[in-house]
Amino acid sequence: MPIVELHLLQGYDDGVKARLGKGLTDAVRFVLPAAPEAVTVMVHEMAAANYYRGGEMRQPAPALPDPTRIVHDYLSAMERRDLPAAQAMLAEGFTMQFPGAAPMTTLEELIAWSKPRYAFVRKTYERFDAMPGNGGAIVYCFGTLHGEWLDGTAFEGIRFIDRFEIAGGKLIRQDVWNDMAEAKAQA
């Protein structure tokens, strides 16, 4: 039974500690064939007043935002067409790649590209998978698309996967895979 001990400065809320516990459990299970309930994570908290580095008292860094929440909030803002809210979640140099399209760097490009394809599209989420990567986080979002073609015909059940890269709490890249072209060809 693997046991992981984490020493943490006081001040982090229970949600942050839960994210750390899950992340450490997942890291152990990535290497060892252990069931989640077989991995023990012990969090030892220490008063920040007792923390020194370089001979100076230091304060703990704030926790990074949950990358899954960032992705969900971004996709929700896009679905509502709240472009200022969505734009605020993008890092400088953000790039997105959709099936059959050249890379795009602005939300306006995405809207112009999608305009001749469908009247609207919405997502039903099956799950979000988050992991560390590239100096930040990688989040995969899985689910199905539903909406309306330009002729007013409804569609639903079209599979999609979105992959996001996040650094510094901002989205830096989005890659999209879906079966929309195949579904449209059969409509």
Q: Which class for 7: exposed (0-12), middle (13-18), buried (19 or more C-beta within 10 A)?
A: exposed
Residue 19 and residue 45 share a domain: yes
pLDDT tens figures, 85-122: 999 999 999 999 999 999 999 999 999 999 999 999 99
Residue 175 and residue 85 share a domain: yes
If one counts every other C-beta atom within 10 angstroms of the C-beta of residue 159, the result is 15
Among candidate residues 179, 164, 86, 90, the one with its CA nearest the CA of residue 129:
164
In a domain, 62, yes or no: no
Dig out the tokens for 24 from the structure. Answer: 């450490």
Dihedral of alpha carbons 145, 150, 154, 158, sign = negative
Q: Are 106 and 113 in contact (CB under 8 A)?
A: no
In a domain, 144, yes or no: yes
| 32: containing domain | 3-57
CATH number of the domain at 18, please.
3.30.429.10
Q: Which of 19, 35, 57 is the last residue of a domain?
A: 57
pLDDT tens figures, 131-166: 998 789 999 999 999 999 999 999 999 999 999 999
Q: Which of 11, 30, 57 is the last residue of a domain?
A: 57
Dig out the tokens for 132 from the structure. Answer: 């560390």
Residue 108 and residue 45 share a domain: no
In a domain, 9, yes or no: yes
Residue 83 and residue 20 share a domain: no
Residue 71 and residue 40 share a domain: no
Report the distance separating Cα 14 and Cα 8, nearest Å. Answer: 12
Residue 135 and residue 53 share a domain: no
Dig out the tokens for 4 from the structure. Answer: 């992981």
In a domain, 74, yes or no: yes
Say what the pTM is.
0.86
Report the distance separating Cα 20 and Cα 100, nearest Å. Answer: 38
pLDDT tens figures, 5-40: 999 988 899 999 999 999 999 999 999 999 999 999
Q: Which of 57, 84, 100 is the last residue of a domain?
A: 57
Q: How many CA atoms lie within 13 A of 149 on its CB side?
A: 13
* Total domains in the fold of the chain: 2
**Residue showing tokens 């996001």:** 164
